[in-house]
Homo-oligomer: A and B are copies of this chain.
Amino acid sequence: MQAHHSTSEQHNVKQPSAARKPLPAFPSIAVVGATGAVGHEFLEVLSDLDVPMRELRLFASERSAGKTMHFKGASQVPAGDIVIEAASDDAFAGVDIALFSAGASVSKALRAACKRSGTLMIDNSSAFRMEPDVPLVVPEVNPQDAFSHTGVIANPNCSTIQMVVALAPLHKRAGIERIVVSTYQAASGAGAPAMDELYQQTRAYLNHEELHVQAFQHQIAFNCIPHIDVFLPDGSTKEEWKMVQETKKIMGDQSIRVAATCVRVPVLRCHGEAVSVQFKRPLSVEDARVALQAAPNVQLMDDPAHNTYPMPGLLAGTNKTYVGRLRADASVEHGLQMWVVADQIRKGAALNAVQIALLLMGKPITV
């Protein structure tokens, strides 16, 4: 890999619009939280999409500093082991884009440092998503918002991303009145230890051994847990609140009403969503199908006659948002129902953030 020397393009400190300058054609890209599940996936996606970059730097906690992670390689950064650096206040000099997935507290702690270095922060945490001057971006839905950032762009919550990718093309045609969504969320949403816990618990269950519960509030093996993130005073969870609020912000339409129930299921890394949508104007199943077929990075998998529909257990490692079970909802005027699946670590996290970077670099976001 390339040495991570300072770049020739020095950024001015305390110049508010510094981060809005055009990115270099071959930026220095950093992954913050490289050792986590999403961190690992950032390395995969940066390689798979052959993202133009002059260097790739990896940051994690002090504990991981000095260890290495293998990068499969991209056109400008050869395959090889990259030494992990400690994420610190003075670590971002020369970094053009920092892809953060180290939790909200780390993102908050390092925001000022990124600003000082003129580093664009693309943040996977929920720390800044609702701030008015932080764009919340899904490149297929609201790419224009990405360009009005002031140094930070937020990556939405995983369950929100795949829903708005599927619904935005329909919203354009018929205007969404109300969404009722129930999620079937994979263990990966709670990180690598949670995926491991699903494995370990399942194995213990089959062997009639004691189950150890740590990553989730309860046993996840052969179970469903209707509780993701913390509870709010109104009885909803923060995960459900995110789906309500983030959908409105991404779609740029505060009139969209959303009712969400978020449930963890014993699946490894793709989320499923049962989505019932009421539109303002008529939208036939056939017109919706045409719109989805033309939509970027959406793949219709909808052939009931051949038992074809997207399934979370069989789509791990893929990049698209898959839509199936598209049908009219006769219980409401202008209603449609569908089933949406995407890889939570890819489109729900790492891939979406990398696509935001590509967008700002003027590169195609097609996967």
Contacts and interface: CB of A to CB of B under 8 A. Distances in A.
Interface of A is mostly: mixed
A141 interface: no
A329 interface: yes
Stoichiometry (number of copies):
2
A311 B180 contact: no
A202 B198 CA distance: 12
Contact of A224 (B202, B261, B272, B332): B272
Given A180-B331, A224-B267, A261-B274, A219 B314 contact: yes
A236 B257 CA distance: 24
Interface residues of A, number: 59
A147 interface: no
B311 A235 contact: no
Interface stretch (A11-19, A125-133, A162-170, A225-233): A225-233
Contacts of A206: 199, 202-203, 206
A304 B227 CA distance: 9
Contact of A226 (B231, B236, B311): B311
Contacts of A263: 184, 272, 274, 339
- Greatest chain B CB density within 10 A among A180, A265, A312 is at A180
